[in-house]
Amino acid sequence: MRKMEFELDGAKAKAIMLEDAVPKTCEAIWNKLPLSGMSIHAKWAAREFMLHLSGKNRIILKPEGPSAEEDIAGTLHQVPFGMGRISYFFREAGVLRGVQRDYSPEFQRELCEFAIYYGHGAPSIQDPGRQPDPTKSVNIWFATFEEPIPKDFVAKADAMQYEGMKPLAIRRLGTSR
């Protein structure tokens, strides 16, 4: 079992990779670790923050796991994420109208990110940024935080609404069986 450590502005939480469900995705992301960057809070999905995978952090993955099957069936309103879940998300340009000027220039039309759902209430099913479109987006739930998510980690995430972006580092924590 592979574990990762998420450190948000000094507060840490552990997550378990879902290797049985999405082995290729986990392998690809594991090989990319450590990753770091500035994370920002969601504007549609409620208590979620994102690490945009820009530049050398960029990862392009093919659909895998239950969500991919739901994508194909066109029933992805059963969004494969929730509190404590961590997803990889990619969408091509054109899924959303126009540009997202509040994102960096690289991601004003397309988007490549980790979506990190840290609190109850997340996600909102009314998230236009992640509406189902199996031909233009990839959404893979690949890890889950160990429960309970540390309170200081949740507090740091909530504080982003008041204080803005915060540094996030994701690193390997090790493997165990």
Partner 1 sequence: MGRKIKVSFPEERVSGLAELAEEDAPKTSQAIWNLLPLKANALHDIWSGHVVFLFLEPTRIIEYENVSRILDVCPGDLYYYYRAPHFFRGAPYGKVEASEIGIVYDRDTQPWGPRGAKGVNIFGTVTENLEGIARVCERMIWDGAKAVLLERT
Contact between 12 and 151 under an 8 Å Cβ cutoff? The reply is: no
Interaction mask 74-103, partner 1, x per CB under 8 A: ----------------------xxx--xx-
Give the residue, chosen from 35, 124, 136, 152, that forms a contact with partner 1 under the rule CB under 8 A: 124
Spatial separation of the C-alpha atoms in residues 122 and 16, rounded to whole Å = 19
Give the residue, chosen from 8, 17, 45, 143, that forms a contact with partner 1 under the rule CB under 8 A: 45
CB 10 → partner 1: shortest distance, Å? 17
Spatial separation of the C-alpha atoms in residues 15 and 4, rounded to whole Å = 5
Question: Across the strands, what pairs with 16?
Answer: 3, 144
β pairing state of 166-175 and 2-8: antiparallel
CB 129 → partner 1: shortest distance, Å? 8
Contact between 85 and 8 under an 8 Å Cβ cutoff? The reply is: no
Question: Which segment (4-12, 27-35, 45-53, 168-176) binds partner 1 by CB under 8 A?
Answer: 45-53
Map the footprint of partner 1 across residues 133-172, applying CB under 8 A: 160-165
Question: Which segment (27-35, 39-47, 54-62, 78-86) binds partner 1 by CB under 8 A?
Answer: 39-47
CB 24 → partner 1: shortest distance, Å? 32
**Alpha helices of 33-113 — where are they, by DSSP H?**
66-73
| Helix H or strand E segment including 154 | helix 151-163
Contact between 137 and 95 under an 8 Å Cβ cutoff? The reply is: yes
Q: Which residues bind partner 1 (CB under 8 A)?
A: 40-48, 96-98, 101-102, 120-121, 124, 126, 128, 160-165
